Structures are given as C-alpha cells and as structure tokens.
Structure 1
Amino acid sequence: MSSVRGPVAWFRDPWRRPRILAGITVFYLVWSLLPVLIAVMFSFNDGRSRTNWQGFSFRWYWGDPTRSVWHDASLHTALLQTLKLGVIATVITVPLGVLFAIGVDRWRGRLPSGANVLMLISFVIPEVLLAVALLFVMTNLALPIGLGTSAQVVGLVTYQVAYPAVLVRARLATIGKQYEEAATDLGASPLGSLWRVTMPMLMPAIFASTVLVFADVIDDFVLVRYLSAGSSTEPVSVKIYNTARAAPTPALNALATLLLLAALAAVVVGYLVYRRMTRGDATGADRGLAAFAGEA
C-alpha cells in the first residue's frame, strides 16, 4: 500500500514530525536574528562605515580616542541613564505589582474588580498615548516632579506595574488557598502564613517578573523620550534614535550591543536563579527554560 503524503498524512497522523512547521520556525528565527547579528558584527568594524566591512577591531568600544563608547562622554551618559532607569523602575515596580496582586486576589467587591480592569488596560493602551498624557500632567500641573529622571521613572512604573501583578496573580491562582489555610490551622497568623508560606511559593513568579520588567525598561523608547529633559537624561534608545539621523558611526552599534548584552545577562541570571528556586518542584525545574518563559 502506498503511503499517503502531504497535508492529508499530517491530518491522519498529527504526531509525525512537523517538517513544514519546523521550517517556518527556523525561517522566523533566522529572519528575526539576522538583522541583530549584522548590527552586532558592524560594531566590530575597523572603519567608520556601517555597511561596508573593513576589518575586525575593537575601535568603537575603546580603541578610538574620541568616539568610542569608552571615551565618548555622551555615550557614557546614555548607557548609565539606561541602567539607572532599569534598576530604579524595577525596584519600585515589582513590589508594587506584588502587593497589588495579593490585594486584588484577597479583596472582594466591585472596587477591586474595577481596579483589576484598570490595571489590565495598560496592556492595550498605546504607549504613546500614555506618554503624551504623562507629559501633559508633568508640564501643566504644579507637581514636585519635573521632566527628567523622576518623570521617566514615574512613567515606566505606571506602564510596567501590570506585568508583575498579572504574573503573581496567575501564580496565586495556581497555588490556591489550601497552604495558607493549613498554616492558619496550625496556629500561624494570617500575616505570618502569607509571609512564611505564600511568599516563598511566589518567588519564582516575582523573580521572573523582575527580569521581564528590567529587560523591558532598558529597551523602552516612547515614554523615556517624551519625559526626558535633554541630553543628560536620554537613555540608549533615545540616543541611538537622535544620533542615527546625522552621520552615525559604528559606535552606536557598539552601544546597542552593550545594551543587548545587559538584557541577555539579565535573562540568563534570571533563568539560573529560577532553576535554583524551583529545584525539586516538578512544575518548574523539570521544564527548565520552558517553565521560566511561561512565568515571564
């Protein structure tokens, strides 16, 4: 009997090797990563061109005495501003999101339901709309916060707080209430059962949300551009945008590569810590990277 080939064979045996889907996946990965790899490659170009390869060199990282990332003060400022915004916004956002998730999970009524809906709106509201609204608030109201780092942090926290809230709420739904109830039956106070039982079980989701928020903040462009107060508060994304329109050098590629390495380092460290936290947990460690990606 001749074997059936093509789509009909897949429908009859859906568990056979999906060659077409695998090919589409490989094509997507190559198409997505190729521009990034090209940009990284030209950060090591020996010449000033960003399109013609002229030899391998670290000139634009530290070799050029005036325009390399190591020697250009404006590039220093942009990189430090990006990392500063990432750390400050993450440190503020994650605890707020965790507290919000726990509060909404335990509070019943129309008010918490409405707060939950408003929090979820941040997933669908255009970032540019939020940036313009915050710009009007900062410039038209008599607030102690002016444009610059403070305004950028407020905007980033406002936009990012939904991520840890959603991740922690999902983890709470998975855990259930039986562990806290058991701790309470054994004599623990409600606050003690929350702190000593629930919080340790929430740590994988908390840490995954920390990595997600940090990686997203250092890559943000719209909010930080609208709320910046000049070149001294421009992060890497805005610096690249403003400089790319006027005779750029591969130093911009080097700067973007350093930012990419920072984001990758955050993800790798997050994955390793997640593995350590979920060691012995069949729902976490056994699935490895897939579980971490699911949390984040």
Structure 2
Amino acid sequence: MFLPVGIAVVFSFNGGRSRSVWQGFSLRWWTEEPNASLLHDETLHLALRNSLVLAVLTMLIATPLGVALAVGLARWKARVAKGANWLMLVPLVTPEIVMGASLLLVFSNLYTGVPLGRPAQLLGHVTFSMSYVVVVSRGRLLSIGKDYEEAARDLGASQIQALRMVLLPLLAPAIFASFVIVFAMSIDDFVISSFLSSGAGSETVPVRIYSAVRTSSTPALNALATFLVFSSLLALTLGATVMSLYRRRQGGGESGDSVLSEFASLEL
C-alpha cells in the first residue's frame, strides 16, 4: 500500500526525467527546472491553490455544520431523529461517481444559479464531508453521555452555557479529528472535483495529475504528490499536538502516543 507513495516521494528528488531509473539526488523538479519544476510551473501552482482553498473552505463550513447537526440529532428525542441518523450514512455508502453525476445534474438543471467550478465543488465537498463529521462527533457524544450537561444545568447554567462551556470542550478531540478528516477528504477528492469542474481554472491537484499523466507527464508531479503527502502528515501531527496540549492544560497528562492513538481511532 505504501510502495507507490514511497516511489513517488523518492523519485521527486531524482536528478533525471526517468521515473524508474535513479539518476542521483537533486531538487531539479522542486525548484531548479526553470519551467517544469513545482516552484515555477504555473499550472501546478493554480491546481495546488485551488485544492488548498477548496479544502480549507470545506473544512471551515462542513465541520461546524456537522458538529451542530450531530449535537441536535443526539439530543433530539423524536422518532424522526433516528431516521435522520440513518440518512446521514447515505453519503458514506453511496458510490462517489453516483454522487458526482447526481450533483452535476442538480447544478446543471435544477439550481443553475450555482455555477460549475469552485462554488459547485465547494457545495459538493461539504455535502459528502458533513457525514464524516456527524459520525465522528456522534460517536464522541455517545461516549460522553448527558451527565455533564445535566450537572451544569443543575448548577444554574443555561442551555447555551452548558453547550459552550461543557459540551464543546468535551467534543474537542472529535472536532479536531473532523477538521483533519474533512481536509484530507477534500484535498484528495477526484471524482466530485472532476464532475463539477468548469475547466483548467478550477482544476484541483488530483484532476491536474490525472490530466497530466494522460498528456504531458513530468517528474514535477511526483514533487506535487510528495508535497500533499507531507501536508497531510503535518495536519495530522498538528492536530495530535494541539490535542495533547489541550489535555495537559485540562490536567489529563496523556502522552503524545496515547493522544495520537485516540486521534487515529476517531479518524477511523
């Protein structure tokens, strides 16, 4: 599973154009090649910028909405809540190509006010990302229970105060995990980004890599893939670090390994 990723990382530092024969260590495809390196290729810059902006916006929109929806479904006692919980699992089991084609039909025929490109891509990414946030947050809510909120209410806290000062801090691990999951899912998405793209101006990194491999592939794509791999690892490390600092501040005193293990379990 890790072999193709390892090969892409290693050959991003290859001195020649070959992607199978090692020709010496070099930063040629990172910075040195005037027109084809990651630093100088404007098409790669545009794709990377599109992917990062789309992933950050999706993360900032889908995570708060998903957490709010999870809290509402967990605290809502009506029978409709059970059906809504099952409904949130539909995007997780729906083939992505079906969702991409469906969203394309919706934005092309029903909601024509949403143009294809970044607006449609953003709505599409938020649509499928929210389910992951709801599942992760609801799992955390079930493990917390209602005792802390009820104790806060008994001590005179309002419902909003109990939510802000008690429930949200307890949900912090799930929220951090949701941020990382949504970011990783969005920046890695190919199908929905491809269906809802309006052309080269809205190409994301996966779409750009696919197009370049079929036409004019260069080793700079390895450098771009390596950059994304290390970005995802950095996001995971930052998330685990923030959680560890939060736990120490709260007096938990857990080690980085235990925090990372819980973070990974929440992500799964």
What TM-score, normalized by structure 2, do the two folds share? 0.95
Match of 2:244 in 1: 275
- The letter for the 1-side match of 2:259 is G
- The letter for the 1-side match of 2:262 is A
Q: Distance in 1 between matches of 2:36 and 2:114?
A: 34
Match of 2:29 in 1: 60
Following superposition, the deviation at residue 247 of structure 1 comes to: 3.6
Task: Determine which of 239, 252, 255 is the counterpart of 2:208.
Answer: 239
Task: Determine which of 59, 63, 68 is the counterpart of 1:94.
Answer: 63
Question: Any idea what the Cα deviations from partners look like across 1:253-278, whole Å, max 9, x if unmatched?
Answer: 01111111111111110111111222
Match of 2:102 in 1: 133
Distance 1:284 1:222, change over 3 A: farther
Structure 1 or 2, whichever has the larger Rg, is 1
Following superposition, the deviation at residue 281 of structure 1 comes to: 3.3
- The letter for the 2-side match of 1:260 is V
Question: Any idea what the Cα deviations from partners look like across 1:197-219, whole Å, max 9, x if unmatched?
Answer: 11111111111111111111111
Task: Please tell me whether residue 78 in structure 1 is matched to residue 47 in structure 2.
Answer: yes
Q: Distance in 1 between matches of 2:254 and 2:131?
A: 24
Contact 2:244-2:254 at 8 Å conserved across structures: no
Q: Secondary structure at the match of 1:244?
A: helix
Contact 1:284-1:292 at 8 Å conserved across structures: no
Match of 1:291 in 2: 262
Match of 2:72 in 1: 103
1:175-186 to 2 correspondence within 5 Å? 175-186=144-155
Question: Runs of 4 or more off by more than 3 Å in structure 1?
Answer: 280-286
- The letter for the 2-side match of 1:76 is H
Identical amino acids, percent of aligned pairs: 49
Between Structure 1 and Structure 2, how many residues are aligned?
A: 265
Task: Please tell me whether residue 222 in structure 1 is matched to residue 211 in structure 2.
Answer: no
Q: Distance in 2 between matches of 1:285 and 1:261?
A: 19
- The letter for the 2-side match of 1:139 is S
Q: Distance in 2 between matches of 1:214 and 1:142?
A: 26
Contact 1:101-1:168 at 8 Å conserved across structures: yes
Q: Secondary structure at the match of 1:197?
A: helix
Distance 1:126 1:212, change over 3 A: same
Q: Distance in 1 between matches of 2:84 and 2:232?
A: 31
Distance 1:276 1:187, change over 3 A: same
Match of 2:90 in 1: 121
Q: Distance in 1 between matches of 2:83 and 2:118?
A: 31
Following superposition, the deviation at residue 190 of structure 1 comes to: 1.4
1:258-269 to 2 correspondence within 5 Å? 258-269=227-238
Match of 1:213 in 2: 182
Task: Please tell me whether residue 43 in structure 1 is matched to residue 43 in structure 2.
Answer: no
Contact 1:208-1:274 at 8 Å conserved across structures: no
- The letter for the 2-side match of 1:85 is L
Runs of at least 5 residues in structure 2 that lack an aligned partner in the other structure:
none
Task: Please tell me whether residue 253 in structure 1 is matched to residue 222 in structure 2.
Answer: yes
